[in-house]
Structure 1
């Protein structure tokens, strides 16, 4: 599984990147044919001073792509919510294919 973490308008620290990589390693337990995962971390200016942290996750499985976007006040929270959503999507697709 190839993991690509991109940050927009800021530089992520090592702690955040390792947190994301550790969480993404659990994806292989859900689906073993995941080829690539793209994670985009962005700062979103909703109001002039308040910045929401946006996490986008793209998961590539042969013949299927899954995409989730979530925003909150911290990157960890945004990433966790997005990861939960993408895991749910992958599980649903697997159940449909198995049925």
Structure 2
């Protein structure tokens, strides 16, 4: 799986990139048909506490999967986004095994 991480309106963080790669690799071990992951980390310019956004798009056979989460820190947003993607992947797996 190829992982592409883009930081928008914020500096690049090597430690955050490692955390994202580790979590996505764990997801790939469970669902080995994932081809590519596009990760977008955005810092909104608002006064709200929850101004850190993580968006992940997974490329795999069939339609792409997309999830997004907003939180007060990027690690929480990444965890929530990957959890949503795992839910979507489980649904896709159930559809494939039922046919």
After TM superposition, the score normalised by the length of structure 2 is 0.91
Aligned pairs for 1:4-43 within 5 A: 4-43=4-43
When residues 51 and 77 of structure 1 are mapped into structure 2, their CA distance, relative to the original with a 3 A threshold, is closer
CA distance in 2, matches of 1:12, 1:76: 14
Q: Given that residues 52 and 71 in structure 1 are in contact (C-alpha distance below 8 angstroms), is that contact kept between their aligned partners in structure 2?
A: yes
After the TM superposition, which of the residue ranges 71-80 and 5-14 deviates more from structure 2?
A: 5-14
Extract structure 1 runs of 4+ deviating beyond 6 A: none
Residue deviations 1:12-60 (CA, integer Å, cap 9, x gap) = 221111111111101112211111000000011333x756100001011
Taking only aligned residues, the RMSD between alpha carbons, in angstroms, comes to: 1.4
Q: Tell me, which stretches of 5 or more residues in structure 2 are unaligned?
A: none
5+ long unaligned stretches in structure 1: none
Q: CA deviation at 1:77?
A: 0.2
TM-score (norm 1): 0.91
Partners of 2:10 and 2:67 lie apart in 1 by 21
